[in-house]
Amino acid sequence: MRVAFFGSVLIAGALFGFGLSYSAMIKPEVVLSFLRYEDFGLLWVLGSASLTTMLTYQFLPRLMRKPLFDKSFREHAASLDRNTLVGAAIFGIGWGISGVCPGPALAGLGAGNWPMLFSLVGIFAGAYVQGRMMKS
Amino acid sequence: MFEFDLLFPLGITHYLIGGLFIGFAVSFLFATTGLVGGMSTFFTSTWSFVSRWEFFNREAFVASRNWRIAYAVGLAVGALIWMLTVGDAFVTTISWWQLTLGGFVAGFGARLSNGCTSGHGICGIASFQLPSLLAVLIFLGTAMITAQLMQKLGGLS
A136 vs B10, B55, B89: nearest CB: B55
Whether the CB of A77 is below 8 Å from some CB of chain B: the reply is: yes
For residue B18, list chain A residues with Cβ-Cβ distance below 8 A: 19-25, 45
Most A CBs within 10 A among B69, B93, B112, hence the mutation to make, goes to B112
pLDDT at residue A76, as a whole number: 75
Q: Do A90 and B82 touch (CB under 8 A)?
A: no
pLDDT at residue A64, as a whole number: 95
Of B64, B7, B73, the C-alpha closest to B41 is B64
pLDDT at residue B1, as a whole number: 53
What is the C-alpha separation between A66 and A63, in angstroms, rounded? 9
pLDDT in tens, B55-79: 999 999 999 999 999 999 999 999 9
pLDDT in tens, A40-92: 999 999 999 999 999 999 999 999 999 999 999 998 778 899 999 999 999 99
Could you tell me which chain A residue has the CA closest to the CA of B97?
Answer: A118
For residue B8, list chain A residues with Cβ-Cβ distance below 8 A: 39-41, 44
pLDDT over threshold 80, residue A1: no
Of B141, B123, B124, the C-alpha closest to B133 is B124
Number of domains in chain A: 1
For residue A17, list chain B residues with Cβ-Cβ distance below 8 A: 74-82
Q: Do B73 and A92 touch (CB under 8 A)?
A: no
pLDDT at residue A133, as a whole number: 95
Could you tell me which chain B residue has the CA closest to the CA of A28?
Answer: B92
**Amino acid letter, A95:** W
Most B CBs within 10 A among A23, A27, A69, A97, hence the mutation to make, goes to A97
pLDDT over threshold 70, residue B16: yes
Confidence of residue A135 (pLDDT cuts 50, 70, 90): confident
pLDDT in tens, A30-43: 999 999 999 999 99
For residue B38, list chain A residues with Cβ-Cβ distance below 8 A: 76
pLDDT at residue B4, as a whole number: 81
Helical spans, DSSP H, in A1-136: 2-22, 28-35, 42-63, 82-98, 102-110, 116-133
Of A18, A76, A19, the C-alpha closest to A46 is A19
Q: Do A19 and B139 touch (CB under 8 A)?
A: no
pTM metric for this prediction: 0.96
| Domain containing residue A33 | 2-71+80-133
pLDDT over threshold 90, residue B2: no
Q: Do A92 and B140 touch (CB under 8 A)?
A: yes
Of A47, B53, A16, B14, the C-alpha closest to A8 is A16
Tell me the mean pLDDT in the region B108-136: 94
pLDDT at residue A55, as a whole number: 97
Sequence-separated (6 or more) residues with CB below 8 Å from residue A74: B34, B35, B36
Mean pLDDT of chain B: 94
Of B121, B57, B32, the C-alpha closest to A76 is B121
Whether the CB of A68 is below 8 Å from some CB of chain B: the reply is: yes
Sequence-separated (6 or more) residues with CB below 8 Å from residue A46: B19, B117, B121, B122, B125
**Amino acid letter, B64:** S
Q: Do A78 and B131 touch (CB under 8 A)?
A: yes
pLDDT at residue A79, as a whole number: 87
Distance from CA of A39 to the nearest CA of B (A): 5
pLDDT in tens, B136-154: 999 999 999 999 999 998 7
Mean pLDDT of chain A: 96
ipTM: 0.96
What is the C-alpha separation between B15 and B83, in angstroms, rounded? 16
pLDDT over threshold 70, residue A136: no
